[in-house]
Amino acid sequence: MTKAKPFLVNENPNYRFAELARMPETQLVMLVPLRIWQRLPEYIAAYEAVSLAGRFGADPGDYEWEWIPNPEGLRWWRRNQDGYESLFGMCVGVRRKDMVELYGMVDVDENSPFWAEVIPEEAANPLPVQAKLIARERRCREEDVLAELYRQYFRERGMLTSDNPGEPSTRRGTIREVERFQAALKGLFERAAKTLLPSELNTQTQ
């Protein structure tokens, strides 16, 4: 069974990210201007916080971010096609003068609609059939068997970040998923840089 190879998505290969040794789970590093980073708490709270979606869900792309104050960081609650969010990526920022070093990773739990997204067709197609046969033989729930087959698939590839009996398992992202997270972060930074914050709107009206 082929294990997932470790990788690091990094647009700044000549820059030394000093905290990498302390965060071996990192899959993505970025440099963000401090002036943009400092805008994020107010910007997210006003325009893109996941809590703004309320209990009715939201369209994909709407209200997907959470600001974490201590340590400073972000969570990306990626939405499925029904508008409901699942935690998909997270990162922490370390301030360095006029820049912020960002250390991120994709982390998907097995209750997420994106959990099985990266299982290739040649494995995904036979697993439900296999689960049905095993469930019939053992007289147990087909859903439970399929969940264990998915877990085993990621376990054999070394992709599980949490694998404790009785608890939902989580897996790390593939390089394509991390690149998706990177693109989402870039979009967030661009919008935060261009959008007037509520405090700036108040200043203009005075």
pLDDT at residue 29, as a whole number = 98
More confident residue, 202 or 111: 111
pLDDT at 206 over 70: no
| C-alpha–C-alpha distance, residues 157 and 139, integer Å | 29
DSSP state of 89: E
Average of per-residue pLDDT across 137-145? 87
Amino acid code (one letter) for 136: R
| C-alpha–C-alpha distance, residues 55 and 53, integer Å | 7
Nearest to 60 by CA among 105, 114, 107, 102: 114
pLDDT at 73 over 90: yes
pLDDT at 2 over 80: no
More confident residue, 12 or 135: 12
More confident residue, 82 or 156: 156
Amino acid code (one letter) for 139: R
Average of per-residue pLDDT across 69-86? 93
Average of per-residue pLDDT across 149-166? 91
Amino acid code (one letter) for 73: G
Worst-scoring range by mean pLDDT, 64-73, 103-112, 143-152?
A: 143-152
Q: Tell me the range of 12-21, 142-151, 161-170 where mean pLDDT is highest.
A: 12-21
Q: How many residues does the chain have?
A: 206
DSSP state of 49: B
pLDDT digits (tens, 9 = 90+) for 29-69: 999 999 999 999 999 999 999 999 877 778 888 999 999 99
